[in-house]
Structure 1
Amino acid sequence: MSVSSGRTRGERGPRRGATRRTAVVVVPLLLSALTLTACGSGGDDAGSSADGKIEGDISFQTWNLRANYKDYFEGLAKDFEKQNPGVHVKWLDQPAENYADKLSADAAGGTLPDVVNVSPDLSYPLAKAGVIMSLDKEPAAAKFKADYTPEAWKGNELPGLEGSYAFPWYLNTGPLFYNKTLFQKAGLDPAKPPKTYDELFADANTIAVKSGGKTATLAGTPSIEDFGRYGVPLMNADATKFTYNDAKGAELLTKYLELFKNGGLDSQALTSGPDAVGQKFLQQKVAMNPGSAHDLGTFKQNAPDLYKNLGITDAPNNTGHPNMYVMGMAVNSKSKHKAAAIAFAHFITNKQNQESFAHKVAIFPSTAGSLDQPYWTQDDGTDEGRVRVASARLLKGAVNYTPVVMTDEMKTILKNEVAKALQGKKSPQQALDDAVSQSDKLLKQS
């Protein structure tokens, strides 16, 4: 893997003891080709109830959560109904597979639920089509903005559109594990892992030289998140063109090329999958690798020497801002019972309910002040606690680097062009120019 914490496609529902890593999913282009009708329970008389009362039948949809959290979400719906006797909540849950297609079909067909679980990449086409509301433009929703961290609210803002388009729900980030023994053998201070990319490349070269080329520091090529953390501008302001092929982007890829030649980047980085990379870290052949609390248990059982000398840090960055993944609850802009939909979306994501959910799952609340509590600041001596505290610390000031318009196909294009540069088939600049050109063409098609 690269310095980035990878996202596992299809792993949409949170799992106990594991990080939920959301993949950017391609939303079919039919949204931009259709004139969308009124959606959800709205019909032609969409809008809040005439007197703004929280009442009516509403539906809300989650994303691959029923199997593990049925009691939790059914309890939430019942609690909300008790507090608001005039409301009935219908809970829908969709599998991870083809979730984007389901949202697209519902939006086009006028059956989008009143409240939907989305990530920013899924919000973007819905927001452009006017299917979900800008919370900042709706007074009943905007009044809750201070309930959430500024980073989380901003994480649901969309390029070229005004405002945030989903109530922040939960956040995630991935720590970077490093092998203190390998750092120490190379004469590096194991208490001072690299914080910037210059430090990373310097340490990686040192480890490669001191080990006689036997130990690499990284085992994956740079992803779009690496370019973002390096300080490369990824897109223009309205997200109509990619810009990561500027001089700074070429500089980063050139440094990866030098690392590849010097042995600081694993020789199989162009072909290894996440499992193979993880195995190399387990075998202490790679010095750094992203992971989760689940991995700590594996290290403890299968590599006790590694476990005893394991460091946890954040992926290096030049911006001062770690990476985070964002989940939210969007509100159907055409909901007939808009007041109830807004109230329920806020209820799901309020401080009490977010903290409750985050105690059940390895995710982090986006509500103001939550991450200052002992559960997220004090190590309780468990593997989960060790990673939880380290990760929570990283979320302060974090941003979502992956552009919301960057599809899986565009990521593959970047990966392939990076590989050509590392293989010497193209210069770093030419590889990035070609990646941007191909991706910009896809953007225009959408």
Structure 2
Amino acid sequence: MKYSRTRMAVAIAGALALTSTLVACGSDEDPKADANAKVTLNVVGLLPGSKPEAQQALAAEVTDFQKENPNITVVTKDYEWKATTFAADLAGGTLPTVFEIPFTDAKTLIGNGQIADMQSSLSTLSYASNFNKNVLQYGQGPDGHVYAIPAKSVYAVGLHYNRDLFTKAGLDPSKPPTTWDEVRAAAKAIAEKTGQAGFAQMAKDGTGGWQLTVDTYARGGRLEDGKKATLTNDATKASLQFLKDLRWTDNSMGANFDYDWTGINQAFAAGKVGMYTSGQDVYTSLVQTNNIDPKTYGLTMIPLSGGDSGVLGGGTMAAVSSKASANEKAAAIKWIDYHYLRKYTNAEAAKKAAEIQIASKQPVGTPELPIFTQQQYQQYQEWIKPLVNVPLDQMTTFTGKVFEAKVVNEPPLATQDVYKSLDTVVQAVLTDKNANIDQLLADANTKAQRAIDAAG
């Protein structure tokens, strides 16, 4: 697939620069690691319930890594990040030494002293200066050091749709909706013609607030203005009214209003949901965990309306426990390089990773947004092009437009608390026909402001 080389309006709270320079000096106070020390490194693996083929691919990667680093033994642990359990897992010491976090959580963990300073370790990588500075900065502390490392490319939320249900409903799967009115009409047709939910929305464990933020951004609204909560904005009200209309006027949202990320993926892959919004990279999980039929899958842009409309973006960072020893930190940066990043900067590594995925019947080529430069990502695409097995021709209405859109980061202050305050609003709108949107948002705004004030 081709991306625009002349315009890349991918931004996280502003335009993303295409090149950057890493803060030059690491911590001189870090204890020195013993390069020959035997280290057992516990790392996050796959999502619970991932298919055997995905587990085999990861096992093959671990084996190859250990051949390259014979003094390091890698132990993987299946894990899914959830806002409701992460803090307790981290405090209780049940997380692996290397774990994954959203962009939005890094600053809080740095401030709490819960993740390690990785500046010196990161500086050992040949491409350390090539990270986009506006991506890297989410993992930097007040001292300028890097604590969390961009591990998976920035995602933008798209509209995922079931091509089979579109066809059964008399809709053209090659012409997905481009406006919210068209989404509503398609959802109603799917519900009436197939008996399945035409559109579904996540609603719990912070995902309800996350996706309501997606809807808000798409209509030009924002949930924070500096240190002020703005949940009562017109765009959020319009987004909730849209859900209310689908649910109570059109009856096009099915009977499940308690979805989280895992649950909605499972329902979508099973053909029970016609459309939903989530990160554009979710296809990989749908294959690895939910056994989706690729022929049924479609991805398109979410409708954008309003002068300041944008697509919510985010991403995943790799972090290391602050309790890690110098030897564990040295081993961790080697794993982060090998497992997450090297394929984007080295042709041999890119091809090798893709070949392992192909051998294990895993997806290669799922659309991503770059964490280095657009040019570097395009080079990576060329390296893996012969091995791509993802139905990219069913995603062109997303991939052909996303670089022309404004991609906006998640609310920066008390993000998860803001999302949780909105979960109850989404749930109420979907389960109570008489829900008062204005009052619900006013109450949620008070809770969100309290959390923002506490976050400083």
Which residue number corresponds to residue 64 of structure 1?
A: 45
Which residue number corresponds to residue 193 of structure 1?
A: 176
Q: Deviations over 1:9-50 (max 9, x none)?
A: xxxxxxxxxxxxxxxxxxxxxxxxxxxxxxxxxxxx95153x
1:355, 1:417 → 2: CA distance? 46
Aligned residue for 2:123, secondary structure, equals helix
Alpha-carbon distance change, 377 to 440 in structure 1, aligned in 2, over 3 angstroms: farther
Aligned residue for 2:150, secondary structure, equals strand
Alpha-carbon distance change, 383 to 146 in structure 1, aligned in 2, over 3 angstroms: same
Of the three residues 86, 91, 94, the one matched with 1:104 is 91
Does 1:415 pair with 2:423?
yes
2:246, 2:397 → 1: CA distance? 28
Which residue number corresponds to residue 347 of structure 1?
A: 337
Which residue number corresponds to residue 49 of structure 2?
A: none
Alpha-carbon distance change, 282 to 330 in structure 1, aligned in 2, over 3 angstroms: closer
Of the three residues 264, 269, 275, the one matched with 1:288 is 275
2:243, 2:237 → 1: CA distance? 10
Of the three residues 98, 110, 115, the one matched with 1:127 is 110
Which residue number corresponds to residue 9 of structure 1?
A: none
1:241, 1:159 → 2: CA distance? 23
Which residue number corresponds to residue 176 of structure 1?
A: 160
Does 1:91 pair with 2:77?
no
2:411, 2:350 → 1: CA distance? 24
Q: State whether residues 220 and 269 of structure 1, in contact with CA within 8 Å, keep that contact through their aligned partners in structure 2.
A: no
Shift of 1:249: 1.8
Q: State whether residues 243 and 429 of structure 2, in contact with CA within 8 Å, keep that contact through their aligned partners in structure 1.
A: no
Of the three residues 419, 429, 439, the one matched with 2:438 is 429
1:355, 1:103 → 2: CA distance? 35
Aligned residue for 2:443, secondary structure, equals helix
1:200 partner amino acid: W
Query: Which ranges in structure 2 are unaligned for 5 or more consecutive residues?
Result: 1-27, 47-53, 203-207
Shift of 1:346: 6.0
Shift of 1:253: 1.7
Aligned residue for 1:251, secondary structure, equals helix
Alpha-carbon distance change, 442 to 79 in structure 1, aligned in 2, over 3 angstroms: same
Alpha-carbon distance change, 428 to 272 in structure 1, aligned in 2, over 3 angstroms: same
Alpha-carbon distance change, 232 to 314 in structure 1, aligned in 2, over 3 angstroms: same
Q: Percent identity?
A: 14
Aligned CA-pair RMSD: 5.3
Shift of 1:63: 1.0
Does 1:166 pair with 2:148?
yes
Query: Which ranges in structure 1 are unaligned for 5 or more consecutive residues?
Result: 1-44, 82-87, 301-306
TM-score, normalised to structure 2's length?
0.59
Using the TM superposition, name which of 251-260 and 240-249 deviates more.
Answer: 240-249
Q: State whether residues 41 and 328 of structure 2, in contact with CA within 8 Å, keep that contact through their aligned partners in structure 1.
A: no
Matches within 5 A, 1:262-281: 262-263=249-250, 265-266=252-253, 268=255, 270=257
Does 1:224 pair with 2:228?
no
2:55, 2:165 → 1: CA distance? 41
Shift of 1:227: 1.9
Q: State whether residues 175 and 315 of structure 1, in contact with CA within 8 Å, keep that contact through their aligned partners in structure 2.
A: yes
1:143, 1:203 → 2: CA distance? 46
2:92, 2:210 → 1: CA distance? 29
Alpha-carbon distance change, 116 to 419 in structure 1, aligned in 2, over 3 angstroms: closer
TM-score, normalised to structure 1's length?
0.60
Of the three residues 232, 239, 259, the one matched with 1:245 is 232
Q: State whether residues 140 and 342 of structure 1, in contact with CA within 8 Å, keep that contact through their aligned partners in structure 2.
A: no
Alpha-carbon distance change, 246 to 161 in structure 1, aligned in 2, over 3 angstroms: farther
Q: State whether residues 116 and 147 of structure 2, in contact with CA within 8 Å, keep that contact through their aligned partners in structure 1.
A: yes
Shift of 1:168: 1.8
1:292 partner amino acid: Y
Alpha-carbon distance change, 415 to 183 in structure 1, aligned in 2, over 3 angstroms: farther
